[in-house]
């Protein structure tokens, strides 16, 4: 297909604003999938995505519309995945921005729209769900037009559910989004914007060809990593995998690499032909640094190798996931993993548990800290238990947070932001009833339970997004938890001095409830350095006897004691105290419980 008949676009939409339904409708309307074959939300292949109603991995689908080839590149819709959105956007010339006619623009949508504008993409705004009785298509279109600086009549009105207005959307894509403009005679270059792993065929790379043309069985090289391989197959998803004889500049498709080692081809790399290699790679992607960290441990220590393999597999198309081995005296062998945010962490955990069938224990998440020791040494700390005690200064990451909320809830949002050490930046009315609030907040406060609090205090109306604003010094303390006088490494945390007492008390109270009574008193303490800030005691049992034991009871009593002994072996021992795994879980889940 000639480049002037190709359009590459992404859909930007907030969760539940109908992106997946729209994608389905487009596939149906363009004849890529017959109505009978139509399963709802076809693009969201992963089980998990289907359940959560969100899209995690970008994918590309080719369809035809009135003599044009349209490549729809899917994007995730959550605050944690800005990085993946920007990756997808680099493969496009335009973006369809979808807003729910009843709910209006959300903070996340706005952030991604600005991301697209910054990337030089043409935006096609659309208002969805106009069929809903509570829809306000004119209001939503006006608001969206204002934000983008476009007249409201340029905003397409549609219903992905009924299909009304969808042809107009496709027409607008063809009319407004520019065709790709690569050089088809130049040495071939393609951007790897996503990848997956096939058990039989190895790494499958999703590419946007920028210059030149690729053909099957061509010897290729990944320019950044230097990995050489042959293209076993080229193809497109339409939406089923379909092999093609060539992928040329402007087109989007997949390359089956046959590589069995997932680490040899990274997303963001540039593919070129070894026969006629390009001189310069494409700009590629900036490495994103994970900002949220947590320890992941297998419940059964025998599963450690499986966990390692699973993480390696996930890392393949999730470059933002990082992990390194961690040993905890309380939890055994595991990994300290870095995530983009809390949802990212949740999704990684769920995928590990579902797709890899692992039973996991996850520590409370923390952010990355920059610590300066008294000797002037600077260290980045990803694990509270590794925070040096002799500190000159600790810096923590801050974010610029934007919240869009109906004006009645402005007070609630301000109150929450103040509680969370937020600094007010500014506020503006997006429309008569809706307000955009900008705050600077420590990421550590957001990691705790900010989003859930925001949702609950605004009855679900608030939408929220943030981007990193750099590191700032904070009045932070390291709080250690001691059981029987011994520090439990997995439970250390770093927290603002003002909140240390409350948090320390909550933790020791919860542990007291969870640790079974032992043969001696067990003190449970929270301490900052050598100063104890909270203390509870699990009182010793006063009796534990097998009441009767005569000739007829001996076997049964012996087996009972032997079983008890085995049970003890399964408990985690801290300072000779038996701590059931459930106790750690309960403490680590303190936050998620508070949310409920």
Give the footprint of other proteins on this chain (CB under 8 A): 519-520, 541-552, 554-555, 557-558, 561-562, 564-566, 568-569, 576
By C-beta, is 426 or 548 nearer to other proteins? 548
By C-beta, is 379 or 561 nearer to other proteins? 561
By C-beta, is 39 or 566 nearer to other proteins? 566
Residue 544 structure tokens:
């534990």
Half-sphere exposure of 296 (CA within 13 A, CB side): 29
Smallest distance from the beta carbon of 516 to other proteins, in angstroms?
10
Smallest distance from the beta carbon of 305 to other proteins, in angstroms?
25
By C-beta, is 419 or 544 nearer to other proteins? 544
Element (H, E) at 572: strand 572-574
By C-beta, is 261 or 562 nearer to other proteins? 562
Smallest distance from the beta carbon of 549 to other proteins, in angstroms?
6
Q: Strand order in 6-13's β-sheet?
A: 60-65, 68-73, 6-13, 94-100, 122-128, 156-157
By C-beta, is 529 or 567 nearer to other proteins? 567
Question: How many Å apart are CA 293 and CA 314, to the nearest integer?
Answer: 16
Residue 11 structure tokens:
């859909």
Question: How many Å apart are CA 343 and CA 292, to the nearest integer?
Answer: 10
Smallest distance from the beta carbon of 509 to other proteins, in angstroms?
18
By C-beta, is 151 or 576 nearer to other proteins? 576
Residue 507 structure tokens:
């933790």
Smallest distance from the beta carbon of 136 to other proteins, in angstroms?
56
Buried b / exposed e along 324-360 (16+ C-beta atoms within 10 A): eebebebbbbbbbbbbbbbbbbbbbbebbeeebebeb
In 3D, which of 186, 126, 268, 172 has the Cα closest to residue 3? Answer: 186
Are 388 and 380 in contact, with CB atoms under 8 Å apart? no
By C-beta, is 279 or 547 nearer to other proteins? 547
- For 163, left (φ over 0), alpha (ψ -120 to 50), or beta? left
By C-beta, is 120 or 485 nearer to other proteins? 485
Q: How far is CA 429 from the centre of its chain?
A: 30
Contact residues for 324 (Cβ-Cβ < 8 A; gap 6+): 335, 336
By C-beta, is 442 or 484 nearer to other proteins? 484
By C-beta, is 38 or 554 nearer to other proteins? 554
Geometric angle at alpha carbon 39, from 10 and 61, rounded to 5°? 30
Smallest distance from the beta carbon of 558 to other proteins, in angstroms?
6
- DSSP 8-state symbol, 331: T
Q: Hey, is 119 helix, strand or coil? A: coil
Smallest distance from the beta carbon of 299 to other proteins, in angstroms?
21
By C-beta, is 569 or 596 nearer to other proteins? 569
By C-beta, is 246 or 561 nearer to other proteins? 561
Smallest distance from the beta carbon of 98 to other proteins, in angstroms?
56
Measured torsion, CA atoms of residues 90, 403, 433, 459, in degrees rounded to the nearest 10: 120
Measured torsion, CA atoms of residues 567, 542, 532, 446, in degrees rounded to the nearest 10: 50
Smallest distance from the beta carbon of 331 to other proteins, in angstroms?
22
In 3D, which of 342, 20, 363 has the Cα closest to residue 161? Answer: 20
Maximum pairwise Cα distance, the chain: 95
Question: How many Å apart are CA 203 and CA 189, to the nearest integer?
Answer: 18
Residue 290 structure tokens:
């994970």
Residue 489 phi, psi dihedral angles, 5° rounding: -55, -40
Smallest distance from the beta carbon of 485 to other proteins, in angstroms?
14
Geometric angle at alpha carbon 381, from 378 and 387, rounded to 5°? 90
Smallest distance from the beta carbon of 596 to other proteins, in angstroms?
26
Smallest distance from the beta carbon of 565 to other proteins, in angstroms?
5
Residue 110 phi, psi dihedral angles, 5° rounding: -60, -45
Smallest distance from the beta carbon of 327 to other proteins, in angstroms?
22
């Amino acid at each position: 297909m000639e480049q002037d008949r190709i359009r590459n676009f992404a859909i930007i939409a907030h969760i539940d604003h109908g992106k997946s339904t729209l994608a389905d409708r487009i596939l149906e309307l363009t004849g890529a999938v017959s109505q009978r074959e139509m399963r709802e939300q076809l693009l969201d292949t992963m089980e998990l995505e289907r359940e959560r109603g969100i899209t995690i991995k970008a994918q590309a689908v080719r369809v035809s519309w009135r003599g044009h080839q349209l490549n729809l590149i899917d994007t995730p819709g959550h605050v944690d995945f800005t990085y993946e959105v920007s990756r997808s956007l680099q493969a496009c010339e335009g973006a369809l921005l979808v807003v729910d006619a009843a709910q209006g623009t959300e903070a996340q949508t706005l952030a991604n729209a600005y991301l697209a504008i910054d990337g030089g993409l043409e935006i096609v705004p659309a208002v969805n769900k106009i069929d809903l009785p509570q829809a306000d298509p004119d209001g939503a279109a006006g608001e969206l037009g204002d934000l983008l600086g476009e007249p409201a009549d340029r905003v397409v009105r549609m219903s992905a559910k009924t299909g009304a207005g969808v042809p107009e959307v496709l027409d607008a894509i063809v009319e407004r989004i520019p065709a790709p403009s690569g050089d088809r005679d130049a040495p071939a270059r393609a951007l790897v914007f996503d990848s997956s792993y096939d058990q039989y065929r190895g790494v499958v790379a999703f590419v946007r060809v920028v210059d030149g043309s690729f053909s099957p069985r061509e010897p290729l090289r990944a320019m950044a990593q230097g990995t050489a391989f042959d293209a076993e197959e080229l193809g497109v998803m339409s939406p089923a995998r379909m092999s093609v004889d060539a992928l040329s500049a402007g087109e989007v498709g997949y390359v089956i690499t046959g590589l069995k080692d997932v680490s040899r081809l990274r997303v963001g790399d540039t593919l070129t032909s070894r026969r006629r290699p390009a001189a310069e790679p494409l700009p590629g992607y900036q490495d994103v640094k994970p900002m949220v960290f947590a320890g992941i441990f297998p419940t059964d220590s025998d599963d450690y190798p499986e966990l390692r393999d699973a993480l390696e597999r996930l890392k393949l198309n999730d470059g933002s996931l990082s992990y390194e081995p961690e040993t905890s005296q309380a939890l055994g062998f595991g990994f300290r993993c870095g995530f983009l945010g809390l949802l990212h962490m949740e999704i990684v955990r769920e995928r590990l548990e579902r797709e890899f069938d692992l039973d996991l224990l996850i520590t409370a998440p923390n952010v990355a800290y920059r610590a300066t020791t008294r000797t002037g040494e600077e260290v980045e700390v990803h694990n509270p238990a590794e925070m040096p005690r002799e500190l000159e200064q600790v810096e923590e990451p801050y974010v610029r947070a934007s919240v869009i909320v109906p004006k009645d809830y402005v007070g609630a949002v301000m109150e929450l932001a103040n509680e969370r050490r937020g600094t007010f930046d500014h506020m503006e009315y997006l429309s008569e009833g809706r307000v955009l609030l900008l705050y600077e907040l420590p990421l550590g406060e957001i990691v705790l339970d900010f989003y859930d609090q925001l949702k609950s205090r605004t009855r679900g109306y608030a939408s929220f997004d943030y981007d990193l604003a750099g590191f700032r010094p904070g009045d932070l303390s390291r709080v250690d938890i001691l059981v029987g006088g011994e520090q439990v490494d997995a439970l250390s945390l770093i927290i603002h001095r003002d909140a240390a007492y409350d948090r320390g008390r909550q933790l020791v109270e919860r542990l007291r409830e969870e640790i079974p009574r032992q043969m001696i008193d067990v003190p449970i303490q929270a301490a900052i350095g050598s100063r104890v800030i909270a203390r509870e005691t699990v009182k010793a049992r006063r009796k534990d006897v097998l009441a009767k034991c005569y000739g007829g009871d001996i076997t049964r009593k012996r087996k009972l004691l032997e079983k008890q002994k085995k049970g003890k072996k399964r408990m985690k021992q801290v300072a000779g105290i038996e701590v059931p795994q459930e106790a750690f879980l309960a403490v680590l889940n303190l936050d998620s419980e508070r949310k409920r």
